[in-house]
Amino acid sequence: MMNNKKIWLSSPHMGSTELLNIQEAFNTNWISPMGPHVDGFESDLVEFTGVPYAAALSSGTAALHLALIILGITPGDEVLCQSLTFSASANPIVYVGSKPVFVDSEKDSWNMCPESLEKAIVERLKVGSKPKAIIVVHLYGMPANMSDIMSVAAKYEIPVIEDAAEALGSTYNGKACGSFGTMSVLSFNGNKIITTSGGGALLSDNDGHIKKARFLATQARDEAPHYQHSQIGYNYRMSNICAGIGRGQMEVLHQRVAQRRKNFERYKDAFNTIKGISFQTENVLSRSNRWLSAVLVDPKTAGCTREDIRLALAAQNIESRPLWKPMHLQPVFQHSPYYGGNVSEELFNNGLCLPSGSNLEDEDLERVVNVIYGCLSV
């Protein structure tokens, strides 16, 4: 009989203590967006990343929004952002009324190209508009070229917001992704390497920034017996229930990284010798959590397009997805400035994310590989 079980791109994968933590939250009636699991989860993140301060929030998007507010980005300002990313990296720039300026990727890491970044800064300076922040992303868990990006940022004295939403468990030069930016963002959405069902965090080595984030995330209440506000606040804190799930997930994070890296090795072994198929590559400094394994399909040599592969997989009940469509090609950002060439566009045209969950069985990966073999001219 044909095995037609649905294979997902990246589905939640619970460990054994998440439910116990939820039970404990119920038993002690800590259900609100404060409580011992929230504090504990923040300590877990600090310990894991080595970044001294963390605020657990309702989403990665909320964390990015607060990072921009805390950096003092105001209407009319410009913010540089990697173009090849999920829209959640760029949308908060618009929430604060400022203007995104998009930057192309480099070929190996698929992340922000340091040369295009510098060109963008120089050009914006020429028109009298110095960008106020740089949002760099570690796509699919692959670390961006942080040494070059941080030195460009330092040269022009522009703070970096590190969008590490996809990169918890990745390292660059031996340091955790999420430990490079003035502030860094994590996501625990359902499809990420670990999940709290929905959630995020802001990390920083600046205590004041994180205190401010907690203040703004709980409606900016001044110290007073009544409710008093001298600033606009937000409802962005993580609940004690979600944080309980997060604490359980932190216990298995190392395993999850190992499982996802193993998926990648399986795909690499299968397609390494195939002309027309290539991968997002690590260098001597970078180690990816391989949140998603993706392939680039060169239609000239592979004998098929990434869309042929996607449709063949879908016909077998297997979910796959094209790479993120670059922001500078999105209708909603069509009037935003863009610097670079066509690297991100080519990646989008030819790239496909393959099933990458840490709960995939060997036979699931085998099914994926066989469907792709069927598409290739081998």
Task: Please report whether residue 86 would count as binding ligand PLP according to CB under 6 A.
Answer: yes
- Residue 196 binds ligand PLP, judged by CB under 6 A: no
Tell whether residue 288 is a contact of ligand PLP (CB under 6 A).
Answer: no
- The residues, any chain, with a CB within 8 Å of residue 225's CB and separated by 6 or more, are none
- Assess 59 for contact with ligand PLP (CB under 6 A): yes
Question: Quick check: 140 binds ligand PLP (CB under 6 A)?
Answer: no
- Tell me if 85 contacts ligand PLP by CB under 6 A: yes
CB 54 within 8 A of CB 213: no
Which residue in the shown chain puts its C-beta closest to ligand PLP?
A: 60
Q: Which is nearer to ligand PLP, 188 or 338 (CB)?
A: 188
Nearer to ligand PLP, 44 or 166 (CB): 166
Segment near ligand PLP (CB under 6 A); pick from 54-62, 236-244, 251-259, 351-359: 54-62
Q: Is 163 in the site for ligand PLP (CB under 6 A)?
A: yes
Q: Kindly state the smallest distance separating residue 357's Cβ from ligand PLP, in Å.
A: 15
Between 168 and 296, name the residue whose CB sits nearer to ligand PLP: 168
Q: Whole-number minimum distance, CB 291 to ligand PLP, in Å?
A: 9
Site for ligand PLP in 30-49 (CB under 6 A): none
Q: How far apart are CA 35 and CA 32, in angstroms?
A: 7
Question: Is 166 an interacting residue with respect to ligand PLP (CB under 6 A)?
Answer: yes
159/198 with CB nearer ligand PLP: 198
Question: Should residue 323 be labelled a site residue for ligand PLP when binding is judged by CB under 6 A?
Answer: no
Stretch that binds ligand PLP, among 102-110, 111-119, 162-170, 250-258 (CB under 6 A): 162-170
Assess 88 for contact with ligand PLP (CB under 6 A): yes
The count of other CB atoms within 10 Å of the CB of residue 212 is: 19
Distance of closest approach, residue 184 Cβ to ligand PLP, in angstroms: 11
Contact status: 89 vs ligand PLP (CB under 6 A): yes
**Minimum gap (Å) between residue 127 Cβ and ligand PLP:** 28
Which of these segments, 13-21, 55-63, 154-162, 367-375, binds ligand PLP (CB under 6 A)? 55-63
Instruction: Return the range that interacts with ligand PLP (CB under 6 A); candidates 80-88, 95-103, 204-212, 358-366.
Output: 80-88
Convert the chain into a string of H (helix), E (strand) and C (coil).
Answer: CCCCCCECCCCCCCCCCHHHHHHHHHHHCCCCCCCHHHHHHHHHHHHHHCCCEEEEECCHHHHHHHHHHHCCCCCCCEEEEECCCCHHHCHHHHHCCCEEEEECECCCCCCECHHHHHHHHHHHHHCCCCCCEEEEECHHHCCCCHHHHHHHHHHCCCCEEEECCCCCCCEECCEECCCCCCEEEEECCCCCCCCCCCCEEEEECCHHHHHHHHHHHECCCCCCCCCCCCCCCCECECCHHHHHHHHHHHHHHHHHHHHHHHHHHHHHHHHCCCCCEEECCCCCCEECCCCCEEEEECHHHHCCCHHHHHHHHHHCCECCEECCCCHHHCHHHCCCCEECCCHHHHHHHHEEEECCCCCCCHHHHHHHHHHHHHHCCC
How big is the site for ligand PLP, counted in residues (CB under 6 A)?
14
Interface positions with ligand PLP (CB under 6 A): 59-61, 85-86, 88-89, 137, 163, 165-166, 187, 189, 200
